[in-house]
Structure 1
Amino acid sequence: MKTIGKYQILGLLGRGGMGTVYKARHPELGHIVALKLLAPMDMVEAIVGMDELTRRFEAEARTMAGLNHENIATVWDLERDERGRSFFIMDYFCNNVGAVIGETYRVEAPSRVLRIDRAADIVRQTLEGLARLHAAGIVHRDMKPFNLLLTSSGGVRIIDFGLSKLRHEPLQLHGSEKVGSPYYAPPEQEEDAEAVGPTADLFSVGVMFQRMLTGRLPQLSCDPPSACNPDLDDDWDKFLSRAVAETPAERFQSAREMIEALDGLMDEWRARSANSCALPPELNDSAMGAEGGKGQPEFPRSEPIKTGPHAGPEALGLDELWRPRQYSRNEFKDRGDDTVLDQSSGLLWEQGASEYPLTRGEAQAYVQGLNAESYAGCSAWRLPTVEELKTLLTPVTQGSDFCVQPVFDTSRTRLWSCDRRTFIQSWSADTELGFISHHDDTCHNYARAVCSLGR
């Protein structure tokens, strides 16, 4: 097995112009970590020089290690390998905002829309992390969805400080170097990256927020944003317009100011949602529930499969954003014993799920435990197939859909499937955002078991 320093390399997570990030294991503890190695592309090394790249890389590690905040990734170790290349160790998380919204290398393509409360929570946590950065005199300068890691409990961790600007310590840029990512970097950063302040990071957060709420970048979005999302109104349009204003003076001037404005909007949104749900059924359309636009009842595949690493969304009956092309028509019945019966398919589901997120192996052991006790009178519990998980998926909740009382536990939304993608990866479902994805078996998702009662 390949090693870097004492760490065993399990796989490649990502590669950039300056470094490569690996999934690795601590040899004695067995703990899974992310290892970032200084391994610049030849062109980058030729332009910048290895000494300057090493200085930047180690400054990034020390910057992250010195910021003790729950929304900033922690660096645990900084070493050099046998070839003298620097590397540092961070916590490993399986998810990031870019993967959740479905952003790809085609940044301009539409992405998944998040529930307004979920998007606001991600943005608020991000702003809390930025408030800490800015208080330390640091401007990140490369805020984008893939630089926001997500913990198994929904926490946000800011990463990638390689382009950050420290107070009184200018980054030595070379003629062809650019700082930031297209669409997410503010206009002034393209003109003079050394002159930007905290409002540059806030612009990037505004771009991400609008993308999460509308599925489009502000530069390519409908105008105003409320035209793309029924949960938004004029106040939201004003907030988002200010967040991505062309000039720094027109934007929020601090992360704290932006948090306070966001909190006010969310208070109003919650009150409006509560008032809407208090109306008689004939005065709102929530009675339609999740049945509108559903397909015909069907009996989903129950036998596990392995798709291979090249299976695209079409192989699983999904659209380009990995959502069902047609949603199932269910007849869910709460049996009152913490299980739910889908009377249309004969599938009996756990109403909740495992108490904690589990690795794939732990999820299988959890199911075996249910069978050992004949939970709810069934001794044939198993992890569901992708086809069965698809029957639990619905479009992202918007408008009066919030009034519909959920049948299943909504606090445990990322669920393992029994279907495998490769020998070390399995398919999973996100029931909050309604899409299918895949994770390494060492990642942590919930297990919601299913039992076939007959068809």
Structure 2
Amino acid sequence: MPEAQTAPSFGRYRDAVMLGAGGMGAVYRAVDPSLDRFVAIKVLTQREPKYIERFRREAQVLAKIMHPSIIQIYEIVGSDEDESDPYIVMEYFEGKPLDALIKKGTLPAAQVVNILRQTAEGLKKAHANNVIHRDIKPANIMVADGGDVKILDFGIAKLRDAKKDLTGNTVLGTPYYMSPEQAMGQPIDARTDIYSLGITAFHLLTGKKPFEAKSKVDVMLMQVKTPLPSILEFVPCDVRVVQVVEKMCAKKQSDRYQNCDELIEGLDALPRSLGGRQKETETTQPDMPKVPKASPKASTPPIATPARASAKDRTSSRPSNRPSSRPDVRKPAALLGGNRLVVIGASAGLAVVVIVILAAVLLRGGKSANSGTWRVPSRGWVAAGPPAPSLKMVQQAGGYGNCVFSSKALERGKEDEGTVRNTFSYTEPIYG
């Protein structure tokens, strides 16, 4: 019969319960009887000198930083002469790491923005103490049920620039979230953590890592060379949140937010509905609308054709507060006496004819002379490739009426010129 495993002893700390374990060590929850509170105890089971040094560095780094978004350290116990494993006693935080949450599904944009802001506040404090985390990722950020955030694992934090090359085994960090300069062994700074936090945001919003490959080196090369995919390719998202994340993940350090203050300012500029600090206004742009699916038999509403109105109706519908810069068209008419309505009616009729001619040119003539407008099918229209813009980006911008589409996208109805037009509703079905 196997012997029961003896519970570990941690000095004055009692009732230790293991919360998790890995190749480097384990984490326990215990009770500090003198203060009647829970504490977290991180134990190092690897006794190699390099791991012990990293373990001590984490304790030293955490001791320098006091911030609500960073786990606080209470003490480190153990020395080279001790036979027992060294351990760090730190603040106990009841929450879940983001890598566990993302397995259940993507997070709403407002929740992601809240996580970004709190994490940026904690990193701002670390950077002010010349500490670069270097391993920001979902597994190293915990969130409580109430929304509070804690940054974990400063074990590979640096107080000076890294000097390792791309292929070296000692490049520290996680390739999926590693900045280009970090992967190439170039000097790192606060913008390195901002990049990793941006990749983390991308993962939380889409449920996918932006760069994946078979080997770590390939992933690191993608961080350096491959453009960031658009979040809108995976999920609907407010374009302003997309812009913040894309700036965080810029390949060039100079194109990112230069520090956490700038990042926080960008996050606060978002409306409150997205986790920002700005009040909602009528001009606040909503999330990208979801286009409802129409039944196959549903027909597209016809384009309204200008109707010929009577001279009396046209006269009564004119606004009374015309701009002063425009000539008063009533004065020449007054000189004509009884022929006034005839002149007005003839002018309005001519304008209607011109409008009808222009519409016919746009609808039947294909691409205009200045290449500004392209034909699209009246039903079952599809988004074209370059130079036409992304259909989702156009939709995000607030409609379809001023879109530019390639004439090559016209697959349905191209034989019947009457089925093409240049304006259409966002409620219509999308193909492609």
Which residue of structure 2 aligns with residue 89 of structure 1? 89
Which residue of structure 2 aligns with residue 215 of structure 1? 207
1: CA distance, partners of 2:153 / 2:22: 11
Which residue of structure 1 aligns with residue 141 of structure 2? 148
2: CA distance, partners of 1:70 / 1:189: 27
Gaps of 5+ in 2: 1-6, 213-226, 291-395, 397-432
**Aligned positions of 1:26-105 closer than 5 A:** 26-40=32-46, 49-50=48-49, 52-80=50-78, 83-99=83-99, 101-103=101-103
Equivalent residue letter for 2:96: N
Which residue of structure 2 aligns with residue 187 of structure 1? 180
- Deviation, structure 1 residue 158: 1.1
SS in 2 for 1:138: coil
Match of 2:270 among 259, 265, 270: 265
User: CA offsets per residue over residues 144-189 of structure 1, 9 Å max, x none?
Assistant: 1121122453211112111000148999xx9633411131111322
Contact residue 5 and residue 80 of structure 1 kept, 8 A = no
SS in 2 for 1:166: coil
Which residue of structure 1 aligns with residue 114 of structure 2? 121
- Deviation, structure 1 residue 124: 0.1
Equivalent residue letter for 1:203: Y
1: CA distance, partners of 2:75 / 2:211: 40
**Aligned positions of 1:218-237 closer than 5 A:** 218-219=210-211, 223-233=229-239, 235-237=240-242
Match of 2:31 among 17, 25, 35: 25
User: CA offsets per residue over residues 205-239 of structure 1, 9 Å max, x none?
Assistant: 00111122222222369942134343412x33332
Distance 1:240 1:152, change over 3 A: closer
Equivalent residue letter for 1:98: L
SS in 2 for 1:128: helix
Contact residue 228 and residue 246 of structure 2 kept, 8 A = no
Distance 1:122 1:95, change over 3 A: same
- Deviation, structure 1 residue 84: 4.5
User: CA offsets per residue over residues 127-156 of structure 1, 9 Å max, x none?
Assistant: 011111111111000111121122453211
User: CA offsets per residue over residues 416-445 of structure 1, 9 Å max, x none?
Assistant: xxxxxxxxxxxxxxxxxxxxxxxxxxxxxx
1:255 equivalenced with 2:260 (yes/no) = yes
Contact residue 112 and residue 215 of structure 1 kept, 8 A = yes
Distance 1:210 1:176, change over 3 A: closer
Higher relative contact order (CA 8 A, sep 6+): 1
2: CA distance, partners of 1:56 / 1:163: 7
Equivalent residue letter for 1:183: Y
- State the identity as a percent: 29
2: CA distance, partners of 1:168 / 1:229: 37
- Deviation, structure 1 residue 100: 5.1
SS in 1 for 2:177: coil
- Give TM-score, length-normalised by structure 1: 0.51
Equivalent residue letter for 1:3: S
SS in 1 for 2:241: helix
Which residue of structure 2 aligns with residue 7 of structure 1? 13
Distance 1:246 1:75, change over 3 A: same
Equivalent residue letter for 2:181: E
Which residue of structure 2 aligns with residue 134 of structure 1? 127
Which has the larger displacement, 158-167 or 84-93? 84-93
Contact residue 96 and residue 147 of structure 1 kept, 8 A = no
SS in 2 for 1:219: coil
Distance 1:21 1:73, change over 3 A: same
Distance 1:226 1:275, change over 3 A: farther
**Aligned positions of 1:168-317 closer than 5 A:** 176-192=169-185, 195-219=187-211, 223-233=229-239, 235-266=240-271, 269=274, 275=282
Gaps of 5+ in 1: 104-110, 286-398, 400-455
Q: CA RMSD in A?
A: 3.6
Contact residue 142 and residue 185 of structure 1 kept, 8 A = yes
**Aligned positions of 1:356-435 closer than 5 A:** none
Higher Cα Rg, which structure: 2
Contact residue 142 and residue 151 of structure 2 kept, 8 A = yes
Contact residue 23 and residue 32 of structure 1 kept, 8 A = yes
Contact residue 140 and residue 152 of structure 2 kept, 8 A = yes
2: CA distance, partners of 1:257 / 1:263: 10
Distance 1:29 1:247, change over 3 A: same
Equivalent residue letter for 2:16: L
Structure number with higher strand proportion: 1
SS in 2 for 1:114: coil
- Deviation, structure 1 residue 76: 1.1
- Give TM-score, length-normalised by structure 2: 0.53
- Deviation, structure 1 residue 256: 1.0
User: CA offsets per residue over residues 187-213 of structure 1, 9 Å max, x none?
Assistant: 322221x72211111111001111222
Distance 1:14 1:28, change over 3 A: same
2: CA distance, partners of 1:101 / 1:250: 30
User: CA offsets per residue over residues 269-297 of structure 1, 9 Å max, x none?
Assistant: 577976499x9xxxx99xxxxxxxxxxxx
Which residue of structure 1 aligns with residue 156 of structure 2? 163
SS in 1 for 2:124: helix
Distance 1:168 1:241, change over 3 A: closer
1: CA distance, partners of 2:93 / 2:196: 22
Distance 1:85 1:112, change over 3 A: same
2: CA distance, partners of 1:257 / 1:90: 31
SS in 2 for 1:205: helix
Contact residue 26 and residue 32 of structure 1 kept, 8 A = yes
Equivalent residue letter for 2:254: A
